[in-house]
Structure 1
Amino acid sequence: MIFKTGFYPVKAQKVAIQVVFALGIWYAHLPAVAQTPHTIIAAPEPADLEQAESILAEDFITVRQLQAEFSDERANLQNQVDEIAARLTRLESQQFSPTSQLSGQAIFAVNAGVFEGDRVISPRGATVTRDQPNPTLLYRFSVDINTSFNGNDLLKLRLSAASAGSNDNAAGLLEPNLGSALDFAIPGTEQISLSRLYYTFNPTPDLSVTAGARMVAGDFIDKNRYANVSFRDFSTQALINNFLLVPRPGGSGGAIDWRPGQGAFSLRAVYIASSAAEDLPENQQFFGGGGVNNIRLFPISGGGAGGGLLGDPYLAIAELEYAPTRSLAVRLQYSRGEVLGSNFQVLGVNFDWAITPEIGIFARYGYASYPETTVGDIRPNYWSAGVSFQNVLRKGDLAGIGIAQPFIVTEIGNTTQTNIEAFYNFPLNDHIRITPLLQVISNAANQNSNGVIVTGTIRTVFTF
């Protein structure tokens, strides 16, 4: 009878010991030259072979007994393996079932500002205000529903609600024309609205294609690792995107992103068409609120304004990125559009460089051509630059200083507006970040009679 201890029978343990012992005796009787590596081993003694054969015969009998004893367990194990394989096959065939993820963000900010002098005037000289702005509390709330049907695609739906818009912060109230407003305050309607609705898929591993009814050009082009996300880094609109390159950011259209061979070059393109019925008043009032003293970049009347996906107004942007390393990227850009029958064209450059894991710099430049404005044919320039710091006082924090001149042109005003922003973003935990930021605007609206505008904001962002 065989008594079991642990996993192996006692007799099997003895057999194994005897085999090892016999092999050791056999090896010990070998000539010394046979024990040397890379030499031919001499034949063992006949007595050793007889002893090994008798031990192996007993071992074979034990193995047969073990096979018979565990035959049922082997069959059960094989059935379980077959069942698991069938389940895996079924899961693979069901990969096209949709999977949705819900995420959200809430931004709350307290803002206040002051200006020097008796009043603030617009680019054409009209009085914007004579009163100092009151402190304000502004907010933006958004919920994203991200759905994938095969694991390599994305259907994005975003619902948003926000406070009154650019006028709910001091910079946007005092200088509403040249990109001084807080970027996260601009979409405000105080009602829940659909702000994103598009579908992205990958026909090949190197190419992504997007089509949507609600898209924003900045989601796909003119990105920058240090100055691009107003709820994380800079908040001044002129520092978030090239002010000239993307004058009409939202609408319906499509985008592509092609990175051949996952190499250093990437080619992107975006086409956005807006609703003529909804957006033409804004187009006509690109500067200011449409008063007689405000400047319009597009004709007051006339032109196409045909609407639709392929009609006026529209915006098309192409971007070529060269990123030879993970720390460096340069982007060459071209945009073209049409509003009220008037064409505009813009050339741009976007650059960011991580000098070290904690320090990085960025810069943007733009040159545009706007014909037939109310001040004639103009060719404005734009530039911005700055530096970013990470892990300054604690792990995960972020700080930055940036400067921009959003609209350099001689036909509007008598000087050039300059925007400066400094911020420090520190995390309370993985879901809450607080950012004090300071904005300084000199020569607002390209008017040297405007005193310096200073605003302060405390931005709190909740993510879930």
Structure 2
Amino acid sequence: MGKFYPLLVSGISILCFLAQITPLQAQTFMREQGRAGSREQRGKTREKGETRERGEKKPTTTNYQLPITQVSQLSDVQPDDWASRALQSLIWRYGIVTGYPNGKFLGNRALSRYEFAAALSTVVRQLEGAIANGKPVQATQDDLATLEKLLQEYTAELKALQSRLDSLEARSAVLQAHEFSTTTKLAGQVIFAINGGGFGGDSLRDPTGTEIANNNPVTTLFYRTQLDFDTSFSGTDLLKIRLDTGSNGNRDNAAGVLEPNFGSGLDFSTRSSRNGELGLGRLYYSFSAAKNLQIVLGTAIAPTDYLDRNRYANRSFVDFSTQALVNNYLLFPIDEQGAGAVVNWQANEFFTLRAMYLAADAENSGSRDEVEGVSALTRLLYPDEGGDRGLFGNPYQGTVELEYSPNPGFTLRLQYSGGNTFDRHFDVLGANVELNLSRQLGVFGRYGYGSYDDTIFGDLEPSYWMVGISLRNLLLPGAVAGIAAGQPFVENAVGDATQTNFEAYYNFPLNENLAIAPLVQAIANPSNQADNGTIITGTLRTVFSF
């Protein structure tokens, strides 16, 4: 970097000051970037050849970048990275940090002059905006003088960036005239899975004592497919339409056949029970009503898209798949799609408040057909259904979640859910926690306690819990493994034992679009019946994303 190295250090120090990190960390960053640049220069020819062999695209400054609202959106930034907190501060306060289309920050790449010029331009715009609006500027006169020097030094790069933007605008106009849609993007996912399993003993009984199986199910090959049409009219809103199809829901996997009531089925399979027919999986419109305030309105909203999320146990197509381990099984009597609204308010860097209202059968007021969207547990407790239906009839539920995340490595969510299921009231309290112990190791858990009135077993006060660990880069780079255990329905009035679910999985991404993810399930005392033998199942998932 020659004679301009001290000036660049000063510039980086200003950015770091705005991000609330130390000058020592800034100098460390510069040294790391310098070493990275030297390594990149020495290995340029070799890396180019390797990139061709792998068929990968090397990131360049011409790749467009996507807005980032949270550090967790950057898949290659870990909570224990020294710069993680600084990045979050820059994102929250100044909107400076961006990521590449593959969801990575690529922090180990050497910083080019163009990239530094782009960040410098963003800082200047933020300062100018603060001054114009009479807001306090968190920079000294020396800092501003250094920025002025940097602007002079990077005049050529800033002009070149403007020229590139003009060229991109012209090319964009041509593409918009010929593309599929000026506002709509298409994304999709295809899952193929092989599943088999069995149980010990002669037969299995459900929680009511009725026999549900006396032989092992056959091995199955099943699938799930979804297409998302994402449309934005202003750049800050989203109209989502999802079309999906699949095989026979909970009946296409062994755990769903042998224990269908307490969340043992495969979540990604059960939630889209289409039996070969094409259906509407999502339909909603999301928009920003104010800064940090998002509102979602729709006729096909899934509650777990917004609530009870967990970075280690939430994506059932590649990590844990047992329903009772993916979400708090008591919290969502309506666990599939329904009509209603979601409000998401990020109060500050640490606290986020979410609220949801959802009706399971909003379009069928007064109908007595079978209600879609309610959980298998709800059907077990209230087999006679009933209710007024409609948007404000029942079944309906309201859920509130307060999320506290003081740093990227720790998150706590406190939840309440209440409402009516078939003219009977329910209340549930929940907690969801995740903790990153190191770059490779994370632990997590959920707990729930609720009351369900006037079930076929009487008034119930069940509890729920699950815990697990997650390991990154186990055996192979990029691979993720996890082990979890839980008891979905702890209630002495139902059965004579307590069901316990175990699952272990291994997710190996072959590339950005293809992953292989085997898993094994074990279910002890299924259906809360001590006489039921242990169920063992295995599944091999192949996931294509595009």
Question: What TM-score range do you get, normalising by the shorter chain?
Answer: 0.7 to 0.9
- Structure 1 residue 297, shift from structure 2 partner: 2.0
Q: 246, 258, 276: which one pairs with 2:345?
A: 258
1:123 alignment partner, one of 185, 196, 207: 207
Matched, 1:245 2:331: yes
Give the AA of the match of 1:383: W
Q: 1:364 aligns with which of 446, 452, 458?
A: 446
Q: Residues 329 and 313 of structure 1: is their aligned pair in 2 closer, same or farther, counting only changes over 3 Å?
A: same
Q: 1:158 to 1:405 in 2, by over 3 A?
A: same
- Establish whether residue 188 from structure 1 lines up as the match of residue 273 from structure 2: yes
Compared CA separation, residues 145 and 243, structure 1 to 2 (3 A): same
Match of 1:297 in 2: 381
Q: Which amino acid aligns with 2:233?
A: F
1:137 is the counterpart of 2:221: yes
Partner Cα distance (1:300, 1:142) in 2? 33
Tell me by how many angstroms 1:287 deviates: 4.9
Which TM-score applies when normalising by structure 1?
0.76
Cα distance in structure 1, aligned partners of 2:287 and 2:457: 44
Match of 1:409 among 485, 491, 509: 491
Aligned to 1:429: 511
Among the aligned pairs, what percent are the same residue? 46
Partner of 1:217: 303
In structure 2, C-alpha distance between the alignment counterparts of 1:416 and 1:124, rounded to whole Å: 14
Q: 1:284 to 1:162 in 2, by over 3 A?
A: closer
**Bigger fraction of residues in helix:** 2
Residues 75-224 of structure 1 correspond to what in structure 2 (within 5 A)?
99-186=183-270, 187-189=272-274, 190-224=276-310
For residues 290 and 318 of structure 2, the distance between their equivalents in structure 1, rounded to whole angstroms, comes to 32
* Residues 98, 148 of structure 1: 8 Å contact kept: no
Equivalent AA in structure 2 for residue 170 of structure 1: A
The structure with more radius of gyration: 1
- Which residue does 1:355 correspond to in 2? 437
SS in 1 for 2:527: helix
Contact in 2 for aligned 1:299/1:340 (Cα 8 Å): no
- For the Cα contact (< 8 Å) 2:338–2:373, is it kept in 1? no
Partner of 1:345: 427
Paired residue secondary structure (1:172): helix
Amino acid at match of 1:265: F
From 405, 415, 418, the equivalent of 1:336 is 418
1:453 aligns to 2:535 (yes or no): yes
What is the deviation of 1:300?
Answer: 3.2
Give 1:71's aligned residue. Answer: none
Q: Within 1, Cα distance between the matches of 2:399 and 2:351?
A: 17
Distance (whole Å) between structure 1 residues aligned to residue 503 and residue 423 of structure 2: 36
Q: Structure 2 CA distance, aligned partners of 1:124 and 1:147?
A: 47
Structure 2: runs of 5 or more not aligned: 1-161
Give the drift of 1:307.
1.7
SS of corresponding position for 1:107: strand
1:193 Cα deviation (Å)? Answer: 0.4
Name the SS of the counterpart of 1:268 in structure 2.
strand
Alpha-carbon distance in structure 1 between the residues aligned to 2:542 and 2:246: 14
Structure 1 contact 283–298 (Cα < 8 Å) conserved = no
Q: CA deviation at 1:340?
A: 2.0
Q: Name the counterpart of 1:399.
A: 481
1:322-333 matches, within 5 Å, as 322-333=404-415
Query: How far is the alpha carbon of 1:286 from its aligned partner?
Result: 4.4
Shift of 1:308: 1.6
Residues 184-243 of structure 1: per-residue CA shift (max 9 Å, x gap): 111221211001011111122211110011010000100000001101210000011100
Q: Is the 8 A contact 1:105 1:141 kept in 2?
A: yes
2-structure distance, mates of 1:379, 1:299? 18
TM value normalised by structure 2 = 0.65
Provide the C-alpha distance between the structure 1 equivalents of 2:334 and 2:374, rounded to a whole number of angstroms: 12
How far residue 358 of structure 1 moved from its aligned partner, in angstroms, is 1.2
Query: Using the alignment, how far apart are the partners of 1:130 and 1:184 within structure 2?
Result: 26
Q: Report 1:363-382 matches (<5 A).
A: 363-382=445-464
Where 1:457 maps in the other structure, the secondary structure is strand
Taking only aligned residues, the RMSD between alpha carbons, in angstroms, comes to 2.5
What is the alpha-carbon distance in structure 2 between the residues aligned to residue 458 and residue 251 of structure 1? Answer: 30
1:299–1:165 Cα change, 3 Å: closer
Give CA deviations for 1:103-155 in whole Å, capped at 9, x if unaligned: 11000000000110001111111111111110001110000011111111111
Contact 1:284 1:299 in 2 (8 A): no
In 1, the alpha carbon distance for the partners of 2:344 and 2:326 equals: 21
SS of the equivalent of 2:229 reads strand
Distance 1:432 1:286, change over 3 A: closer
Query: What SS does structure 2 have at the residue aligned with 1:238?
Result: helix
8 Å CA contact retained: 1:98, 1:149 = no
Greater strand share, structure number: 1
Q: CA–CA distance in 2 between the matches of 1:227 and 1:279?
A: 34
Whether the 8 Å CA contact 1:346–1:367 is kept in 2: the answer is yes
Structure 1's 457 and 403: CA in aligned 2 closer, same or farther, altered over 3 A? same
Give the corresponding residue for 2:321: 235
Instruction: Write the distance in 2 (CA, Å) between the matches of 1:142 and 1:388.
Output: 27
Question: Is the contact between residue 397 and residue 427 of structure 1 (CA under 8 Å) also seen in structure 2?
Answer: yes
Q: Distance in 1 between matches of 2:384 and 2:197?
A: 34
